[in-house]
Structure 1
Amino acid sequence: MNQFFIINSRKIPKIFLLILCVVAAFIWYNFQMKVVPVSNENQTNREIQMITGEFVTETADGKKIEVYRFDPGTIYLKKGEEVDLKILGVNGDEHTFLIENTDIKGRIEKGKETIVPLQFDKPGTYRLICITHKDKENNGPMIAYIIVD
């Protein structure tokens, strides 16, 4: 009879080590991040989603305080990158806006999505300012920061 198939006390540690290696290799393989190649052939611009939001509270003396915000309040772009900023109007009927130090102006309406194409040739911080809510007296400031590097 072939002695390979006979299990004795000297072979048990070797068999255990072999089984342990097989199980470890199986676990390692199955928990590796699967890398899938992605092609951007059909999409030319990166999309960034933003919403208009509102915070409302009441002071101890019963005065209502509200403020409007962009969310996220800060976005990051690379110099020269083409981006579609998609702003969904959630709170507030209308927000007229501009992007400081550019010619970009527009309007966001409640329940609608406004698409703002962006591309900056100079690094810096650009402020997206809601003119309707520009300061504390007008339930603001409603400002988002566009950081370009």
Structure 2
Amino acid sequence: MSRIIVIKRTHLVLAALALLLILSSLLYLNRERIIPTLAEPTALRTFHMVTGEFKSTTSDGKTIEAYRWDPGTIVVNKGEKVKLSIYGVNGESHPFLIEGLNISGEVKKGKETVITFTPEQEGIYRLICMTHPDIAHGGPMIGYIVVD
């Protein structure tokens, strides 16, 4: 390898190390201004969800559709106060239940449904739409609440 290539490669490595040193110094100096994105476990944390729909036509002309919660999975801490704000976008009505939490309700098109709860046990809880529980009924419209 020629000496010029070695010198250029050495300069490139030194420049990358200098840039890394500058960036880490800036992060260190600005650490008080960094705002954490996770809420404190004792605070009420709000999750915004919507009802959504996928619709398509098969090659033989049949219309198929599937409904879903979006986001489909949320992760919360055990003992954390949680607020679900669910807005009905697609589908007229989505009566639901959250298995294991004894919570039920209904989301209607154009309306917001708000639920608050504090999960006391770790696990995965299913948010199930009773109108769309399986493929035969445009589902399964199931969301997951993961409690750590």
**In 2, Cα distance between equivalents of 1:136 and 1:81:** 33
CA distance in 1 between counterparts of 2:110 and 2:64 reads 23
- Normalization by structure 2: what TM-score? 0.74
Counterpart in the other structure of 2:15 = none
Structure 1 unaligned spans of 5+: 1-23
Distance 2:101 2:129 in 1: 14
Please give the alpha-carbon distance, in whole angstroms, between the structure 2 residues aligned to 1:111 and 1:146.
Answer: 24
Cα distance per residue 1:16-59 (max 9 Å; x no partner): xxxxxxxx9xx86xx64564487x8xx94111111100000000
CA RMSD of aligned residues (A): 2.6
Of Structure 1 and Structure 2, which has the larger fraction of its residues in helix?
Answer: 2
Q: Which has the larger radius of gyration?
A: 1
Q: TM-score, normalised by structure 1?
A: 0.73
Alignment of 1:1-149 (within 5 A): 32=27, 33=30, 35-36=32-33, 44-149=43-148
User: Identity across aligned pairs (percent)?
Assistant: 50
Count of aligned pairs between the two proteins: 124
SS in 2 for 1:122: coil
Could you tell me how far 1:119 is from its partner in structure 2?
A: 1.1
Instruction: Tell me the distance in 2 between the aligned counterparts of 1:101 and 1:129.
Output: 11
- Structure 2, unmatched stretches of 5+, are 1-18
Partner of 1:137, secondary structure, is helix
